Amino acid sequence: MKSICFNCSCRTFILALLSGAALFGFSSGARAELSFVFTNSRSAAMPRRPSIILIVADGLGYGDLSCYGQTKFQTPNLDRLAAGGIRFTSYYAGDAVSSPSRAALMLGRNSGHLKQRADVEVPLAADDITVAQILKQSGYHTGLIGGWDLGGDGTTGAPWSKGFDEFAGYFDPANAENFYADHVWRHDSAAHLQGNAAVYANAGGKNGQYIPDLFTTMSVNFIGNNQPDRFNHYRPFFLLVNYTLPGAGNGRVPTDAPFSEEPWPQPEKNKAAMITRLDANIGQLLEQLKKLNLESNTVVFFTSDTGPQMNGGVAPKLFQSTGPFRGIRGDLYDGGLRVPMIAHWPGKIPAGQVSDFPGVAWDFLPTATDMALIQSPTNIDGISILPTLFNQTQTNRHESFYWKLQSRDEAQAVRMGDWKVMRLKADAPLELYNLKTDPGETNNVAAKNPDVIKKFESLLKNQ
């Protein structure tokens, strides 16, 4: 890889996809090219710790995968991932909208303890410690590919300020809706690269490169160049892939095949095509792990940031995207919160598990640090669910889950055991549902259970 200068006069990088090779260069003067791959780090680290890959879809509903009951289309790669590991049926997103949900995932805190309370960009603060920072400090090489709406360039929440050695993708959620963007952001600490990278194939309004596919190419490169081997002293990696499929992009997809002839509205054809494309992309990542013999010491997590949304004119009803649950993205009913969660680690996580253990996004940080053999912070709300992953007795459990959504008039929700309460706005009465007998939250039994309501009211006073 050639060395290049980096100064104020040449801050724009150019990305080209030529004959399958990705190239960087400068846009001014003579163009210096360097391979668009993620760099190896050679720092020594604790041996035998697993690499960790976290894949987060955008607005993928509980019922949008065939292993979760989808019948109108199939997701074979994710189905195989689930069959080879554990699939959770009572797993919750960090919030019903993207920004606080992703903050909860990164920080291990519930939305009541976050500055992010609505789906608007609020950068992570300087004292917010992410899972990437903790893993990096312990010797992991860290990468982020895809969308990031927790702070952009020049803010305390920029990815390189929050523990990521490498970043390629979008800062702004609005930009993330452009699936044929003519540039993405690129940062590489080791190569001293930082700036906009223009996508040649999309220059001048062309639709030559579908950005979610490009994210897959980047992810495959990252795995290949940072595999724990003797050349990098067996240093493990942490890779976060924040796909913008299927929720963003207003339904834009290169082709609606293989659903072109289905008697569905066009938005539904596009959504099905986007999800099957996401599944195929994840298949490429899994194939890279297999090719490099990394499967046995790489943990792969897959989940979604929220429940399904109606972006691009999609109505979740046709595909029953929320499964048996009520609500969509933006609602604190389970349809907006309950999402897929799959974990796969051959030889460690027993295959074929289906768990109804109630887990939540803020559990990822302590679970990942547990896997990495390091301590997690004490000021978090999450717990390690490693015993459940290993099919062992989980001695610590959440007493309750709490969500607060400022964008919906201070809406609140709490789950405690099989009970769940909802408050649609600050001064609204509590609704009460028994999720065991009424998973669709259709029968409000608050009036019949005053003692239960009193417990929840006491709990909410302390939030």
- Whether residue 422 sits in one domain with residue 376: no
For 280-284, which contacts have Cβ atoms below 8 Å and span 24 or more sequence positions? 280/77, 281/212, 281/213, 281/215, 281/216, 281/243, 281/245, 282/55, 282/77, 282/78, 282/81, 283/76, 283/77, 284/216, 284/220
pTM: 0.90
- Whether residue 316 sits in one domain with residue 368: yes
Band of residue 401 on the pLDDT scale cut at 50, 70, 90: very high
- Whether residue 272 sits in one domain with residue 193: yes
- Whether residue 457 sits in one domain with residue 373: no
- Whether residue 430 sits in one domain with residue 392: no
- Whether residue 385 sits in one domain with residue 238: yes
Alpha helices in 28-175 (DSSP H): 76-83, 98-107, 131-137
Query: What DSSP line would sit under 212-229, residue for residue?
Result: HHHHHHHHHHHHHHS--S
The total of structural domains in the chain comes to 2
Percentage of the chain modeled with pLDDT above 90: 71
Q: Is residue 29 included in any domain, yes or no?
A: no
Q: Of the residues 397, 425, 447, which one is the last residue of a structural domain?
A: 397
Band of residue 190 on the pLDDT scale cut at 50, 70, 90: confident
19-32: pLDDT as tens digits: 233 432 322 223 22
Q: How far is CA 335 from CA 319, 339, 359, in A?
A: 13, 8, 15
Band of residue 111 on the pLDDT scale cut at 50, 70, 90: confident
- Whether residue 300 sits in one domain with residue 179: yes
Closest to 214 measured CA to CA, from 187, 257, 182 = 182
Instruction: Find out whether 81 and 353 touch, Cβ atoms under 8 Å.
Output: no
Q: Is the pLDDT of residue 430 over 90?
A: yes
Q: Is residue 26 included in any domain, yes or no?
A: no
Band of residue 432 on the pLDDT scale cut at 50, 70, 90: very high
Percentage of the chain modeled with pLDDT above 70: 88
pLDDT top residue among 406 and 304: 304
Q: Is the pLDDT of residue 213 over 50?
A: yes
- Whether residue 430 sits in one domain with residue 309: no
Q: Of the residues 364, 397, 430, which one is the last residue of a structural domain?
A: 397
Q: Is the pLDDT of residue 116 over 60?
A: yes
Q: Is residue 40 included in any domain, yes or no?
A: no
- Region 362-385: what's the mean pLDDT? 95
Q: Is residue 7 included in any domain, yes or no?
A: no
> So what's the pLDDT on residue 95?
92
CATH of the domain at 413: 3.30.1120.10
Q: Is the pLDDT of residue 200 over 80?
A: yes
Q: Which domain holds residue 417?
A: 409-461
Alpha helices in 59-210 (DSSP H): 76-83, 98-107, 131-137
- Region 271-284: what's the mean pLDDT? 97
CATH of the domain at 235: 3.40.720.10
36-90: pLDDT as tens digits: 444 444 444 455 899 999 999 999 999 999 999 999 999 999 999 999 999 999 9
Q: Is residue 30 included in any domain, yes or no?
A: no
Question: Residue 70 is which amino acid?
Answer: Q
